[in-house]
């Protein structure tokens, strides 16, 4: 397998890439707003959310705590790879900056972190391997949390099967050189130069993430990931309760993770629209009225996805306008 490039195609030209990503984000945001205004007509979603400022603020606080937990997991993975002295606050800003472009296929826009962790002397290959490790743990944790609401979606077994298959292939690709060779041979036959470049880069990252598959790394990583996503699920459960949607605790904690899983597997950037639709379908299955279910879906996405984008933009701005830091040569 050929050696890993210094930076992936997605971040090879940072200024141009950020401009394209920002334009894409604006298009997605404008489309989401237009759809929201259309759905709001006759349903009063925005008016309903306007009276939930307090509960939404509490939910946002829980989501911010989940960001801190996920960063600590990221920091621990970097420590295992030889970067134990990473400044905590500087690393947090670099990590959060990745959320600015989380609305991207496969969350690949979060690899913007390569630029900012590079300033902290963390190589691009280490950032990529940590990113792949993080995505794998998140898939496992979200699937496990969703088990409580499995009865609300007939396709849950299919979702679990797809996730299990992806995780098995990922783990094998991390550890088995012969499989890496097969996948690499397949990747170079993919249509489109940029797709081939991205596929081979991700395969190299999976190969380098192999050392992270140790119990002393995976066990605490799973624990911190479970805590982080439980905070998000609890925020959704609390929001539903304040809106008068009465759910059993397994359903309350499982609906949002399943919706996230459905959004991820839809391959729609950020799961925009598909995640909300899954939430509405599952809440409807519990007897919630359509207008209330729509408001709950939009509300939780405001304090998760769109809050993450806002926090990421602020972190990116602080890194771009702050004092320049030498990047590794």
Quick one: which of 323, 308, 327 has its CA closest to 102?
A: 308
pLDDT of residue 148: 87
pLDDT of residue 243: 92
**Segment 247-291, tens digit of pLDDT:** 998 899 999 999 998 888 777 777 888 899 999 999 999 999 988
> How far is 266 from 247, CA to CA, in rounded Å?
26
> How far is 291 from 96, CA to CA, in rounded Å?
33
> How far is 185 from 189, CA to CA, in rounded Å?
7
Residue 287's SS3 state is coil
**Segment 44-100, tens digit of pLDDT:** 777 788 888 899 999 999 999 999 999 999 999 999 888 988 899 999 999 999 998
Q: Where are the alpha helices (DSSP H) in 81-213?
A: 88-97, 113-118, 124-146, 156-175, 177-187, 193-208
Q: Where are the beta strands (DSSP E) in the chain?
A: none
**Segment 11-60, tens digit of pLDDT:** 445 555 566 666 666 777 777 777 777 776 666 777 788 888 899 999 99
- Count of positions (residues) in the chain: 329
- For residue 271 the two structure tokens come to 């799961």
Mean predicted confidence (pLDDT) in 126-142: 89
> How far is 96 from 106, CA to CA, in rounded Å?
17
Domain ranges, ordered by start, for the chain = 9-321
What's the mean pLDDT when you consider all of the chain? Answer: 82
**Segment 186-244, tens digit of pLDDT:** 776 777 676 676 667 667 777 777 778 888 888 999 999 999 999 999 999 999 999 99
């Amino acid at each position: 397998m050929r050696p890993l490039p210094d930076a992936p195609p997605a971040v090879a030209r940072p200024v141009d890439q950020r401009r394209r990503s920002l334009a894409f984000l604006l298009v997605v945001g404008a489309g989401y707003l237009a759809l929201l205004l259309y759905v709001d007509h006759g349903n009063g979603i925005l008016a309903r959310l306007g009276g939930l400022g307090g509960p939404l603020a509490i939910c946002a606080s829980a989501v911010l705590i989940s960001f801190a937990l996920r960063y600590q997991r990221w920091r621990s993975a970097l420590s295992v790879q030889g970067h134990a002295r990473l400044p905590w606050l500087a690393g947090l800003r670099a990590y959060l900056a990745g959320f600015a472009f989380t609305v991207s296929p496969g969350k690949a826009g979060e690899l913007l972190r390569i630029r900012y962790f590079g300033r902290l002397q963390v190589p691009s290959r280490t950032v990529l391997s940590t990113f792949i490790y993080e995505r794998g743990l998140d898939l496992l944790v979200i699937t496990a949390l969703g088990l409580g609401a499995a009865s609300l979606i007939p396709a849950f077994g299919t979702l679990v099967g797809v996730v299990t298959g992806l995780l098995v292939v990922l783990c094998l690709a991390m550890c088995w050189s012969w499989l890496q060779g097969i996948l690499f041979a397949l990747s170079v036959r993919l249509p489109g130069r940029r797709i081939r470049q991205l596929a081979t880069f991700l395969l190299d990252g999976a190969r380098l993430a192999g050392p992270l598959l140790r119990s002393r790394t995976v066990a605490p990583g799973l624990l911190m990931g479970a805590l982080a996503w439980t905070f998000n699920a609890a925020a959704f459960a609390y929001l539903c309760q304040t809106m008068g949607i009465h759910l059993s605790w397994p359903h309350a904690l499982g609906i949002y993770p399943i919706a996230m899983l459905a959004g991820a597997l839809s391959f729609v950037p950020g799961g925009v629209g598909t995640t909300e639709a899954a939430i509405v379908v599952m809440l409807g299955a519990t007897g919630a009225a359509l207008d209330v279910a729509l408001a709950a879906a939009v509300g939780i996405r405001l304090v998760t996805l769109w809050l993450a984008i806002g926090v990421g933009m602020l972190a990116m701005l602080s890194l771009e306008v702050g004092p320049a830091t030498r990047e590794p040569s």
